[in-house]
Amino acid sequence: MNIEEVKETFEFMDDWEDKYRFIIDLGRKLPEFDQNDQTEENRVQGCTSKVWLVYSRDGDNIHFRGDSDAHIVKGLVAIILMIFSGKTPKEIISIDAKKILHELGLSKHLSPMRTNGLFAMVERIKAIGESFL
């Protein structure tokens, strides 16, 4: 699934409870995250829940993997990975994640702490992208 498909799915859902369940389901579909990668070095600071983020390069593209100890946050990680993973550093930096997350309605329906954590993930990914320029 990609971010456009998530947007389309959200358009068909009227109830935010259904959207939350969908987000949780996205988190369940993330690939297994190696527990050896659940280190403080890989932890995203600024998130209330524990969130880990690792990356690898494949040519010009950067691929991200992530995990969280909270179900809804793990789903948010999945959404962030859909937005950024597999892109070049220049593409990563140019993506307006705030706009995408606003289009999904997440900025209105998440607690301020979750929203801050979400943008902490975005900042971390953009910093990784910038480190390769």
Task: List active site positions.
Answer: 47
Please spell the DSSP secondary structure of the chain, one letter per residue: --HHHHHHHHHH---HHHHHHHHHHHHHTSPP--GGG-STTTBPTT-SS-EEEEEEEETTEEEEEEEESSHHHHHHHHHHHHHHTTB-HHHHHH--HHHHHHHHTHHHHS-HHHHHHHHHHHHHHHHHHHHT-
Contact 119, 112 (CB under 8 A): no
